[in-house]
Amino acid sequence: DTAVSQTPKYLVTQMGNDKSIKCEQNLGHDTMYWYKQDSKKFLKIMFSYNNKELIINETVPNRFSPKSPDKAHLNLHINSLELGDSAVYFCASGRAGAAYEQYFGPGTRLTVT
Amino acid sequence: QKEVEQDPGPLSVPEGAIVSLNCTYSNSAFQYFMWYRQYSRKGPELLMYTYSSGNKEDGRFTAQVDKSSKYISLFIRDSQPSDSATYLCAMRTGTASKLTFGTGTRLQVTL
Give contacts of A 3-42 with B, CB under 8 A.
Answer: 4, 31, 40-42
Angstrom distance (rounded) from CA A47 to CA A56: 5
Structure-model confidence comparison of residues B26 and B9, the more confident one: B26
Angstrom distance (rounded) from CA A64 to CA A62: 5
Q: Residue B101: its chain A contacts at CB < 8 A?
A: 42-44
State the pLDDT at residue B10.
Answer: 92
Residue A97 pLDDT class (50, 70, 90 cuts): confident
Choose among A81, A76, A111, A77: nearest CA to A92: A76
Q: How many CB pairs under 8 A join A and B?
A: 61
Q: Between chains, do B99 and A50 touch, taking CB under 8 Å as contact? A: no
pLDDT digits (tens, 9 = 90+) for A5-35: 999 999 999 999 999 999 999 999 999 999 9
Examine the pLDDT at B21 and tell me if it is beyond 80.
yes
Angstrom distance (rounded) from CA A86 to CA A112: 5
pLDDT digits (tens, 9 = 90+) for B30-48: 999 999 999 999 999 999 9
Mean of the pLDDT values across residues A47-57? 88
Q: Residue A101: its chain B contacts at CB < 8 A?
A: 34, 46, 49
Of A23-37, A51-65, B68-82, which gets the smallest average pLDDT?
A51-65
- Is residue A33 a contact partner of residue A68, using CB atoms and an 8 Å limit? no
State the pLDDT at residue B110.
Answer: 96
